[in-house]
Amino acid sequence: MARCIENNTIEIIPYECPPLENITCLNGKKPVLVYDENYCCQHYVCDCVCEGWGDPHYITFDGLFYSYQGNCTYTLMEEISPKHNLKMYIDNVICDPNEDVSCPRSIIVSYESEVITLKNHNLIGAAQLEALKDGVSLKLPYSEHGIKILTSGITMVFEIPRLEVVVTFGVTGFSVTLPFKYFGKNTQGHCGTCTNNQADDCMLPGGMLVESCAIMADYWPAKHIYQPNCYTPSVLPTNTPLPPPTQVPCRPDSICDLLKSSIFDACHPFVQPDKFYEGCVFDSCHVLNPTVECTSLQAYAAACAQAGVCLHWRNHTQLCTSDCPSDKVYKPCGPAEQPTCEDNPNESILNFTTEGCFCPDGLMLFNKESSICVDKCGCLDSEGIPREFNEIFEQNCQNCICEESTKAVTCKPKVCPAPPVQNCTGPGFILVNQTNPSDPCCFAYVCQCNSNNCPVINMNCPIGYVPVVNVPEGECCPEHTCEPKRVCVHKNVEYQPGASVPVIACQDCTCTREVDSNNGLFKISCEFQQCDENCEMGYEYVETESDECCGKCVQTQCVLNINGTKQLLMEGETWSPPENKCEHFTCVKNGETFMTTSSSILCPPFQQNNCQPGTIQTAANGCCQICVEKEKACKIGSMRIHILHKGCRSTREVDMPYCEGSCNTYTKYSEKASTMQQSCSCCQESRSSNRTVDLKCLNGDMVPYTYVHVEECSCAKTACTHPAGRLTRKRRSFTLV
């Protein structure tokens, strides 16, 4: 050491460094050697590493474990005495709508004048990572203003090389690594105090210590971020003991026990799994989505990787698989800053291990901005395809070369040979300039068909034919042909198969499906008509003298249909049904048509009780009943008269009986005799006697006179001497149709 005495005199005093004392880091990390403030002697210190994962669980800089489910943006780490102007915030949000648990959505890093947000858009499951500056997405990798941001696809790595600060954020949660030599004993917030003393980790703003960091965390909402729904407790906490943590997972299919299995056995001597197991059990009991358990395994594997133990654990569970693009491979331990063709050996790179998607072995990234893996370094063309030095290739109709001197691609337009001239002579063909199919960068003259240049063709076809247009192979213009339809044709009329065709009189002709080899149409088949000579009742088949092929049925009789029974009547014939003689049917002829008329006899009222016994009978018309009425029958009438004879007169009235009344007299037509038949009877005396009476004459003489005295009357047949008159009974007539 040098010491100033006086008069500009400097005394050199030998300084003996104290012996190195080994220390134990409570966060489980290895101690590191650093120089004292005089940069003379070295001593061991513990660098500060804070980790968080799940919903969420924290391990402070000094290795103290706690869980906290706040739903705000909190101070993760800040300097007690600002030296490097570094602050970090964590944004926790509710990640399960069914449970009151939160997950870290983003970490905000404020350094000097730069504010960078590392954000995960998918809280549970495959990561969707993004880095933002002033709300604008950054293209990674990013390196400006003393900050570097890298990504492996699964994890983002934020580095401040000058301060050796490393922050990771992704599906594994987050980690903050601070060197003790810059930040020792000068931090506060959710990550603790970085003193290698767990007793002072749970410190409130202002320096007060509490026993529980989960209670302490409520007092650290970010002051510089507007959060109207986040409040700092107004009362200082009391030392209330927390409930003991759950010891076993709540789900039978939990993967938490893998942390204590042989899969992670190689890491157990370097990183104790107890705190990660406790966080996994908590998630198993408080979050419905089972994939949240993966974050505890991921966080433990990441801690093991920083301790130098690389574990291939994802292939032991289907719940925590990780997918990579087809041109990348998954590695549990890869360099956060992947090697590229543009690496400068004189530049320092981040010596940090992370899991993610990397180039396969033997390949490297073409450059930091490209995600393309190459086996040889050279140039990157305009489409992002890697090219070797001095490689000559064609792209976008340009001849290009990868220049080794400039490590860039230079191109010149491609020179095409003169295209050969084509001779287009066929109808419809025209000469056009188009892209050469064998070389799309050049053009060629080809003969191309243009149907608009084809001559007009006649599309008319005869009856029974349809026009058909086809283009022969190798030709441009269509050819027109007439093909027969599937029809018959007769006198320019088309007939479908099975249809009747009027070809020859007295023959039945039909369109068949047999093809005529001469014209391709269907043939017409004809056969002579068969005359039907069977006529209906009342008709007779009669040959005609006209040109008709067959005779016809001519009506010759009337056909009367009564109750399903047919009766034939000749012209003028009258017929009555046996069961009804009161109805008469007569056949009459009207022109060439025979028709039946009907008439009915209306009988006068008939009272049987007014008939003399034994006199009831059917009238001559066969319809009505008649009898000898009691009052009008043949009987003896009585009258008293003076008999006059030759001027002489009886002196007194004489009883003079007489016969009067009606008898059965009729006239009717006899079919057998073919004439009218009469039957006459007369009411006359059947028994009589002679009686004598005295007559007084004018001269006074008395003269005896004998007369016939009728004693009994009856009807007796007599000759009909006068022709019978017409019947007087009314008839009603109608014509049968």
Q: How far apart are CA 96 and CA 78, in angstroms?
A: 29
Question: What's the pLDDT score for residue 31?
Answer: 92
Q: How far apart are CA 180 and CA 42, in angstroms?
A: 13
> Does the pLDDT value for residue 222 go beyond 50?
yes
> Does the pLDDT value for residue 545 go beyond 80?
no
Question: What's the pLDDT score for residue 55?
Answer: 76
Assigned domain for 733 exists: no
DSSP 169-181: EETTEEEEEE-HH
Q: Are residues 514 and 591 in the same domain?
A: no
Segments forming the whole domain that contains residue 259: 250-322
Quick one: what percent of the chain has pLDDT higher than 90? 30
Question: What's the pLDDT score for residue 137?
Answer: 92
> Does the pLDDT value for residue 52 go beyond 80?
yes
Assigned domain for 430 exists: no
Assigned domain for 616 exists: no
Whether residue 141 is preceded by a cis peptide bond, meaning omega within 30 degrees of 0, is yes
Q: Are residues 180 and 36 in the same domain?
A: yes
Looking at the DSSP assignment, which residues form a beta bridge with residue 709?
689
For residue 282, the surrounding DSSP H or E stretch is helix 274-286
Q: Are residues 95 and 54 in the same domain?
A: yes
> Does the pLDDT value for residue 471 go beyond 60?
yes
For residue 298, the surrounding DSSP H or E stretch is helix 293-306
Residue type, 13: I
Question: What's the pLDDT score for residue 164?
Answer: 92
Question: What's the pLDDT score for residue 732?
Answer: 35
**How many residues make up the chain in this entry?**
737
Question: What's the pLDDT score for residue 734?
Answer: 33
Q: Are residues 587 and 675 in the same domain?
A: no
Confidence band of 374 (pLDDT split at 50, 70, 90): confident
Q: How far apart are CA 476 and CA 447, in angstroms?
A: 10
> Does the pLDDT value for residue 726 go beyond 50?
no
Question: What's the pLDDT score for residue 728?
Answer: 39
Q: Are residues 137 and 200 in the same domain?
A: yes
Q: Are residues 190 and 266 in the same domain?
A: no
Specify whether the CB–CB gap between 404 and 410 falls below 8 A. no
Looking at the DSSP assignment, which residues form a beta bridge with residue 45?
32
Mean pLDDT over 553-566 rounds to 88
Assigned domain for 175 exists: yes
Q: Are residues 159 and 282 in the same domain?
A: no
Assigned domain for 687 exists: yes
Q: How far apart are CA 658 and CA 684, in angstroms?
A: 8
Q: Are residues 163 and 80 in the same domain?
A: yes
Q: Are residues 392 and 509 in the same domain?
A: no
Question: What's the pLDDT score for residue 510?
Answer: 94
Residue 72: count other Cβ atoms within 10 Å of its Cβ.
21
Tokens of 111: 């350094």
Number of domain units in the chain: 6
E strand segments, 325-391: 329-335, 353-358, 364-365, 373-374, 378-380, 386-388
Assigned domain for 125 exists: yes
Q: Are residues 570 and 710 in the same domain?
A: no
Question: What's the pLDDT score for residue 242?
Answer: 59
Q: Are residues 392 and 498 in the same domain?
A: no
Final residue in a domain of this structure, among 322, 349, 367: 322
Assigned domain for 174 exists: yes
- CA-based nearest residue to 140, from 376, 356, 406, 306: 356
- Share the mean pLDDT of the chain: 85
φ/ψ region of 671 (left if φ > 0, alpha if ψ in -120 to 50, else beta) reads alpha
Final residue in a domain of this structure, among 322, 341, 367: 322
Assigned domain for 456 exists: no
> Does the pLDDT value for residue 722 go beyond 70?
no
Confidence band of 736 (pLDDT split at 50, 70, 90): very low
Looking at the DSSP assignment, which residues form a beta bridge with residue 129?
120
- 176: Cβ–Cβ under 8 A, 6 or more apart, which residues? 48, 49, 50, 51, 76, 77, 88, 165, 166, 167, 191
- Compute CA 136 distance to the chain's CA centroid, rounded to the nearest angstrom: 43
Q: How far apart are CA 588 and CA 609, in angstroms?
A: 42
Helices (H), ranges, 467-573: none
Q: Which residues of 636-652 are buried (b: 16+ CB within 10 A; e: fewer)?
A: eeeeeeebeeeebebee
- How buried is 460 (Cβ within 10 angstroms: 0-12 exposed, 13-18 middle, 19+ buried)? exposed
Q: Are residues 559 and 508 in the same domain?
A: no
> Does the pLDDT value for residue 737 go beyond 60?
no
Confidence band of 246 (pLDDT split at 50, 70, 90): low
Q: How far apart are CA 128 and CA 119, in angstroms?
A: 8
Domain with residue 157: its CATH number is 3.40.1000.10
pTM over 0.75: no
Question: What's the pLDDT score for residue 735?
Answer: 32
Specify whether the CB–CB gap between 28 and 271 falls below 8 A. yes
- CA-based nearest residue to 477, from 428, 443, 525, 442: 428
> Does the pLDDT value for residue 339 go beyond 50?
yes
Question: What's the pLDDT score for residue 60?
Answer: 94
